[in-house]
Amino acid sequence: MGVANMVASLLAMLLPSMSFVFNLAIFVVTIYLLFYFTRKRAAQFEDEGFTFSQSLGFIVAMALFAGIISGAYQIVASNFLFTEKFEEVLTTSMATLKQTGVYNADMMESMSGLMRSYIFSPIPVLMSNILSNVLYYGFLGLFISIGTKREPNIFETNDESDEE
């Protein structure tokens, strides 16, 4: 899922006019992959059952790893691959904030440093990707877990005395 997010981000950077289509496609792919892998995991717990909380926990664990992968990609993209585009976004954001007239020069300077570190520094980028993936996948997981939970098999007995 992290790789799918990475590919969608890369395509959106290369073809900005098609970013809506890529974002829509990655939304559908994300839901499909969450459902597919969670059902596959639930199938491993056929006899003892796979509860809603286990399903949601599995989805959150997937979100952590997907966040690490997409965060690593964003670090590489912002610092090496698409530095100019990220600088352009930063410049546009700062110009927009300056036009509001709410912030003085000192505030703009401190915000510029803060925004620069948020976009280009590895730790904030990685942490924000992990947190956003956990929240996003966790929200989707609330609904997906309803369809992937399994009740325990009540007719399966593991007593060896019944077999004899």
Query: For 151-161, what is the mean pLDDT?
Result: 64
Residue 159 CA to residue 136 CA, distance in Å, equals: 43
Which segments of the chain does DSSP mark as H helices, in order?
2-14, 19-43, 52-76, 83-100, 105-120, 122-148, 160-163
Q: What is the pTM of this model?
A: 0.77
- Give tens-digit pLDDT for 114-124: 888 888 889 98
What are the pLDDT digits (tens) for 31-82? Answer: 999 999 999 998 888 778 888 889 999 999 999 999 999 899 989 988 888 8
What is the pLDDT, as a whole number, of residue 87? 85
